[in-house]
Amino acid sequence: MIKNPAIQVNSEIGTLKTVLLHRPGAEIENITPDTMERLLFDDIPFLKNAQIEHDYFAKTLQDKGIETVYIEQLLEDVLADETVKDEFLTRYLNEHNYMNDAMKDIKGYLNTLSTHDLVSTIYAGVRRELVDFKHPNLHDVAGSDAENPFLMDPLPNAYFTRDPQAMMGSGLTINYMTFEARRPESLITEFVMKYHPRFAGNVDIWLDRNTDARIEGGDELVLNDHVLAVGVSQRTSSRAVQALAEELFSNQDSNFDTIVAVEIPHNHAMMHLDTVFTMVNYDQFTVFPGIMDDDGKMNINILHSGDQGQVVMEHRNNLKDTLKEVLKLDDLDLIETGGGDPIIAPREQWNDGSNNLTIAPGEVVTYDRNYVSIKLMQEHGIKVNEIKSSELARGRGGGRCMSQPIWRDNL
């Protein structure tokens, strides 16, 4: 049992106290038309305005008394220790296939930077011409890698702090992410959890990233203190969900005994469960109807903890009924994104109209552009705090994607 847990997340809706963010930086300006698709962007945001919008998002949270913690600051704190910095750079470069003398050359350059600039460079990417290679690898002089102006690609998705890990109960999963473009983000989480005094020794690690079972935080929803909903999606494999169930059902520190595995279409617009489904109150959810077939059916499996902590599985096909069953509710309110209209719903889903950050039961933070979904939520009694969304939305993630709750009041 952890004595002083640094994480407390026992729901999607308990009053939010502390949240992890990343302010978009130079990495956004290192996206080009050629790399956009590989870097998982649909357009190149205007950085200055993206930062204004992000600061507005952070201030909206701060004005509600929520502590905002920046992952880049935590990384800077951790890398101030020379031994940790060396370990981090070795791992980071290894994961980019640099070893031996070539690694020494790159480290030589990175070690000339202040810790602050090093962190910015890790996010922004390391441009090839900055390193004076005495010992280049073949892949630096021939083939497609050699054509890439970056030795290490930028991390433009880092402002979606939800995905590299998922905090639940007194711990987290540190995620092996699906696309190479995002994998270094969870290496950062790993080092912060291992070495930052705020977290080191004070968190349970339910899953680590040393696996090939893919999982991302946008798929991991904490419905209450013993039930999770996890998307089986473009980004999260069924094997990872099974592994998570096995760990949570058998670990003494975990209170979770049920995982609802919800299969969603595997595509870019709906890459994670939270792009189509969020919990906004005890008995209210927003949902994009496009995740169901024409009869309203879906492929859902409830994973339960059996007598010996083993995983027992039951199949379901109706989302509303399944939620009522696992949450023990007589009724619940599914609020359809864009009112289910065949034009408005997919447009607002594309711009993350289903991706709400719930900051207290019945109160959300969401993008202003999805005005039809906002009006509907208001009509259903939800308090909506609107944030600006012209540039941030170009990365295909909204309020929930841009935030990782670290501490919520228990319900």
Ligand X SMILES: NC(=O)NCCC[C@H](N)C(=O)O
Minimal distance, residue 74 CB to ligand X, in Å: 20
Longest dimension (CA), the chain: 69
Phi then psi for residue 410, to 5 deg, are -75, 150
> Which residues are registered as beta bridge partners of 222?
228
Q: Which is nearer to ligand X, 96 or 272 (CB)?
A: 272
Compute the distance between CA of residue 114 and CA of residue 123 in angstroms, rounded to an integer.
14
Q: Which of 167, 262, 401, 402 is catalytic?
A: 401
Selected from 45, 397, 399, 405, the binder of ligand X by CB under 6 A is 397
Minimal distance, residue 348 CB to ligand X, in Å: 15
The piece of 190-198, 266-274, 288-296, 320-328 that touches ligand X (CB under 6 A) is 266-274
Minimal distance, residue 395 CB to ligand X, in Å: 5
Q: Which is nearer to ligand X, 137 or 358 (CB)?
A: 358
Compute the distance between CA of residue 194 and CA of residue 216 in angstroms, rounded to an integer.
20
Do residues 132 and 371 make contact, with C-beta atoms less than 8 angstroms apart? no
Distances, alpha carbon 1 to alpha carbons 9, 200, 244, 246, 335, in Å: 16, 14, 19, 18, 39
Q: Measured at CB, which residue is nearest to ligand X?
A: 218
Helix axes 82-95, 71-79, angle to 10 degrees: 120
Which of positions 168-187 make contact with ligand X (CB under 6 A)?
A: 182
Residue 258: in which H helix or E strand, if any? strand 258-263
Minimal distance, residue 45 CB to ligand X, in Å: 11
Minimal distance, residue 11 CB to ligand X, in Å: 18
49 is catalytic: no
Minimal distance, residue 330 CB to ligand X, in Å: 31
Do residues 35 and 82 make contact, with C-beta atoms less than 8 angstroms apart? no
Q: Of the candidates 193, 184, 194, which has an alpha carbon nearest to the alpha carbon of residue 166?
A: 193
Which of positions 200-229 make contact with ligand X (CB under 6 A)?
A: 218
Selected from 154, 395, 399, 405, the binder of ligand X by CB under 6 A is 395
The piece of 6-14, 142-150, 323-331, 389-397 that touches ligand X (CB under 6 A) is 389-397
Selected from 160, 199, 285, 407, the binder of ligand X by CB under 6 A is 160
Compute the distance between CA of residue 208 and CA of residue 188 in angstroms, rounded to an integer.
12
- Compose the 25-64 pattern: x for residues touching ligand X by CB under 6 A, - for all others: ---------------x------------------------
Please give the size of the binding site for ligand X, defined by CB under 6 A.
Answer: 15
Half-sphere exposure of 305 (CA within 13 A, CB side): 19
Selected from 316, 369, 388, 396, the binder of ligand X by CB under 6 A is 396
Q: Which is nearer to ligand X, 271 or 311 (CB)?
A: 271
Compute the distance between CA of residue 100 and CA of residue 280 in angstroms, rounded to an integer.
51
Do residues 154 and 39 make contact, with C-beta atoms less than 8 angstroms apart? yes
Strand 258-263 relative to strand 227-232, pairing: parallel
401 binds ligand X (CB under 6 A): yes
Task: List contacts with ligand X (CB under 6 A).
Answer: 40, 157, 160, 162-163, 182, 218, 271-272, 274-275, 395-397, 401
Catalytic residues: 401
